[in-house]
Each structure stands twice: as C-alpha cells, then as structure tokens.
Amino acid sequence: MSAAQALPAPARSPGFFEALAPGGKRALFVLGLIAVCLLFAFPVFWLVLTSLRPGYAVYYVHRGTDFTLDNFHDVISQEIVLKALWNSFAISTLATILSLGVTVTSGYMLSRFRGPIPTAWFGAIYVFRCVPYVSWVLPLYFVTRQMGIFDTYWGLLLPHVAVHICFFSWIMKGFFDGIDPSMEYAAMIDGCSRWGAFLRVALPAAVPGLTALAILCWLYTWNEFLFALILTAQNTPILTVVMAQFVHELGMEWHLMSATAVISLIPALIVTIFGQKYVIRGLKV
C-alpha cells in the first residue's frame, strides 16, 4: 500500500455525501462493492446451482427445492469425462513447462542483446502474435494430419506452445529488462560462460515473473477451446470440448454440462486462490 493513505487527511469542507448523511459515503462504497461482487459471481453461482438440480427440474432452476449430487455421479462415471479430465490436466501442465522453457531463453535474448537479429525476431513475433487464430488453426488441421500427430498429445501441445511463444517472449523480455544485467557481467568477468551467467544469475532473479506466467499459462491452456475443438478427435478428448458436447442441438443436458463445468472449475479455482498473490507480485516486476 502506498504511504499516501498513512498521512492525515487535510481538512476539507464536507462534500455532498457527508452533508447528505454521515457515513453515507461509506455505505455507498460497501453497496458498490456488493453490487460488483454480485455481477461477477452470479454466472458462476448460477452454474453451480444448475449443476445441483435434477434433470427434470433444470428448466426451472429458480423454482422448487430439489437438489441432488447425482449429476456429478453421472458425469464422473462416464469414461470419456475422466479421460478428458486427465488429458486436459496433462496437456496444460506439459504446455506450461514447454512454453516457459522455450520462451524464457527467447525473452532473455530480446532483453540483453541489440542488433539485427533481436530486431528481426521482435518484429517477427509481433507480426505472428497478430495473425488471427483461424488463419492458422484451419490449415493446422491438415498440417498435423500430414505429420501424423493429429489427435495426439503432441498435435495439441506444440500448437499451444506456438500460440504462447510471441506473447510470452514479449512479457519475458519485460521481466529481464527489470533485472540489472551488471550481475551477469560480473559473473562473466569471473569466468562464467554466457550460459552460466544466464542459468545461474539471470534465471533465478526472474523466478517471480516466471511463476506468474506459469499460472496464467496453465489456466489459459486448461480453458482453451478452439484448438482443442479442431485438433483433437475421439482419441484425445479434451474437457472443454466434451463439456460443450453436452448441449447440442440433439440434447440439451444443461445439468450434466453444468456438473462437468463445475468439476473443471475446481482445479482452476485452486490455482487461482493459491496463485493470485504470486501473479500480482510477479507482474509488478
């Protein structure tokens, strides 16, 4: 918190709210807070409520008092959902590790060097960052088929890494820009190689930023839909796709969809609750 709040407030003539009602400003503030929280929480609250209703009562969620956990039981006993849960988890974790590994070096290079190579690379990632997903996810379907990795882990994993390269290199550059390079120079004068200076001096200093990025990357991959929709089929079911399939034109199984969605929210919730302080701290660097 800034020191500004610690200073005694200078005397001011009472404003509109103080004149209206003593403590009114405070009440207004609290009301505003509650309204904002309601707006943000309502869709999630409604999702949880829908997931707890039996199938026959789902169309009148706001009426009746029948609640049940059967939906969760139904969903969990479907083999495809369990498989999708595991696949989503594995893909998100692997994609996070690979993306960070690939981009940390690229960001370091962008931050520490000048000249035609970094300039060209920066221009390339900026342009590729802008290319819309549809212009490469449609042909990517044919490309992964040609490579024989369609509908496998690699076929989804590597495109995900490619998605992250541009943005993460940019962010990583920012992290390393905030770290004073003189320590690395000192290490190199003392006989450390360039790799040594990077791995032993610069990398440990960037850990807060890396943690923040890892959390965001994991959440992003866990929630991703378009790539999973196009690049996977029966062999590699992904949770977001399986979930969306519960509400088709053929059958609107809102209760089962909601139960799956709630299950998919739990890991994300854990990651966010435990990770948010690292994210805010890491992004501040």
Residues 193-232 that bind another protein (CB under 8 A): 194-195, 198, 219, 222-226
Burial class (CB in 10 A: 0-12, 13-18, 19+), 104: buried
- Of 20 and 117, nearer to another protein (C-beta) is 117
Q: Of 232-251, which residues contact another protein (CB under 8 A)? A: 240, 243-244, 247
Q: Could you give the C-alpha distances from 216 to 224, 261, 276, in angstroms and in order?
A: 12, 19, 10
Say if residues 83 and 235 touch (Cβ distance below 8 Å). no
Say if residues 227 and 163 touch (Cβ distance below 8 Å). yes
- Of 59 and 185, nearer to another protein (C-beta) is 59
Instruction: Compute the least distance from the CB of residue 126 to another protein, in Å.
Output: 7
Sketch the per residue contact string, 149 through 188, with another protein: x for CB under 8 A, - otherwise: ---------xx-xx--xxx-x-------------------
Q: Burial code of 205-220, b = ≥16 C-beta within 10 A, e = fewer?
A: bbebbbbbbbbbbbbb
- Segments in the chain forming alpha helices (H): 16-20, 24-51, 70-76, 79-112, 116-130, 133-147, 153-177, 182-189, 194-196, 203-205, 207-223, 226-231, 239-245, 254-284
Tokens representing residue 228 in the block: 């999973």
Q: Of 77-136, which residues contact another protein (CB under 8 A)? A: 101-103, 105-106, 108-110, 113-114, 116-119, 121-122, 124-136
191 is an interface residue for another protein by CB under 8 A: no
Total interface residues for another protein by CB under 8 A: 97
* CA-CA-CA-CA torsion sign (267, 270, 275, 276): positive
Instruction: Compute the least distance from the CB of residue 177 to another protein, in Å.
Output: 8
- Of 186 and 274, nearer to another protein (C-beta) is 274
Instruction: Compute the least distance from the CB of residue 261 to another protein, in Å.
Output: 5
Residue 252, classed as helix, strand or coil, is strand
Task: State the Rg of the chain over Cα.
Answer: 25
16 is an interface residue for another protein by CB under 8 A: no
Q: Which of 5, 77, 182, 234 binds another protein (CB under 8 A)?
A: 5
Q: Which of 57, 61, 94, 205 binds another protein (CB under 8 A)?
A: 61
DSSP 197: I
Sketch the per residue contact string, 21 through 60, with another protein: x for CB under 8 A, - otherwise: --------x--xx--xx-xxx-xx-xx--x--------xx
Q: Of 252-281, which residues contact another protein (CB under 8 A)? A: 254, 257, 261, 264-265, 268-269, 271-273, 276, 279-280
Instruction: Compute the least distance from the CB of residue 284 to another protein, in Å.
Output: 5
